[in-house]
Structure 1
């Protein structure tokens, strides 16, 4: 496949509360686009407020895909995401529209655009549970040390508190007899069918943190506590506990912590998550970053995006 035959894909990434949803909609309107979400929690049905799922008003008539389409009690992996997102890119292209991937789940974006081939590695729920139990008994760092002994490079790239990825890396090492790093290298052997351009959106850290705090307050006003309580009452909805905004309210529902303290914890964990997102995305030197300030200058943001897109020459669709 020649470079000109590859499908153009635009992506908008960045930390939570950076304005990705709004920019994705603006770009879609400007470039005849459709949005493909790259958010690992917005894909679930019913998890609306805590995940900042875009409302119909925020979508503003732009087609959005992979939002609220998976049952809340279903397991969903990166491989599952790729199996849905790749056909969507082709379908959108066939409609002569521009696929615009929007989201903050770095693993989804970094697997989709470079066309990572995930090996059909067997999964072992019992083995995963053993690792999780070990972490619960001995701590996340102790489990991370196990990975460090098997695959130092993977351990250096995965934070000890990212239990999902630590457990997955250990599972792959155990089941394949190879390092997780070696399996990753093998997955990049097939060239990508996409001509992708990735725009990164963020604010100066202090401003971003202020926006996060304000967003959490807005979520509480919109009914976050009631939504989290519904999750708390239903054992089948344990998937939701991975989303910040639910698990932090459990102490309040258990009567051992005040609501105000739990809300402060949500803000703290969201700020930490944003920092991890930035760390992940900044490893990608292909991302074209736009650093914003306190003022909402939509026209200025669009002008910057248009210059980036025009300079790259990657997008082949006409502008209205």
Structure 2
């Protein structure tokens, strides 16, 4: 039996310090970095995604950053295809890939596989569902999900808008409930890789403080100017998946639907902070779910992770 080659997965919620840790490892050994982030794939979306600067990318090159425009869609299935191709290329160069990011769906798809039966996202179908919600209310959309896929309706809360949209999108595209298609999903892909999973899970209070500092920096270095540029260059609007990224959605609402007063700006900043904390909460939940079926090393502080990973890989 051939030796399984190592793949290092470094996961964590937003602002946990995982990217800095991955860059430190990169500088110490024979590694290449692969981004696992559904927002970093977009060109020109830099400040709001906390994307490594051009200078940082020169020092610590990342694959799968800036690969599409904000007008395009990038799915978990496409990520798995791209990431596995890169992993094989990196191994062929005699190096070890480090996958780093916070998009847990991508990690789950890589570790467990995705159903070949699920269709890619369709912007037009999603727009129709969102128009239905705007005209008839989300209760109407959720009621439709209850009719066509009762199992999904039990799994999702009425507030899980993105999941509801995806479930209805799949049904409208295939005529089959997403839960039935997912039941056919292939698990535990027979990769020739030895996945080494690490999770950075700092204390919630510490993470919230780091998130607040990150957002304060975003406002200072011109995040709103970036969003205005995206609106002009790409006609960025809230129907595009890129615009649903945390921070961008709130900034778009402020720039398009308010008088841009200081009062409304403060409200927007508070909404962005709340949404980012909610994102971190969802990432914690995803990680705990993955830990139930995959072996992990979990670190409660950056310092703890640095010490351990230096010993393992440094």
TM-score interval (norm. to shorter): 0.7 to 0.9
1:276 aligned residue (282, 295, 314): 282
Q: Which moved further from structure 2: 280-289 or 64-73?
A: 280-289
1:237 has 2:241 as partner: no
2:19 & 2:195 partners in 1: Cα distance?
19
Q: Which moved further from structure 2: 128-137 or 8-17?
A: 128-137
SS in 2 for 1:248: helix
Matches within 5 A, 1:132-151: 132-151=130-149
1:6 & 1:118 partners in 2: Cα distance?
25
* Alpha-carbon shift at residue 141 of structure 1 (Å): 4.8
Q: Structure 1 length normalisation: TM-score? A: 0.83
* Alpha-carbon shift at residue 34 of structure 1 (Å): 1.0
| Match of residue 315 from structure 1 | none
Indicate conservation of the 8 Å contact 2:12/2:283, yes or no: yes
Q: Which moved further from structure 2: 133-142 or 72-81?
A: 133-142
Gaps of 5+ in 1: 311-318
> How many residues are treated as equivalent by the alignment?
303
Structure 1 residues 252 and 33, CA gap change in structure 2 (3 angstroms)? same
Q: Deviations over 1:245-278 (max 9, x none)?
A: 2221235433155322222221111111111111
Indicate conservation of the 8 Å contact 1:114/1:192, yes or no: no
1:304 has 2:308 as partner: yes
2:13 aligned residue (12, 15, 28): 15
* Alpha-carbon shift at residue 19 of structure 1 (Å): 0.7
| Match of residue 112 from structure 1 | 110
SS in 2 for 1:237: coil
* Alpha-carbon shift at residue 165 of structure 1 (Å): 3.1
Q: CA RMSD in A?
A: 2.6
| Match of residue 36 from structure 2 | 38
1:291 has 2:300 as partner: yes
Structure 1 residues 27 and 148, CA gap change in structure 2 (3 angstroms)? farther
SS in 1 for 2:236: helix
1:127 & 1:59 partners in 2: Cα distance?
36
* Alpha-carbon shift at residue 16 of structure 1 (Å): 0.5
2:161 & 2:259 partners in 1: Cα distance?
27
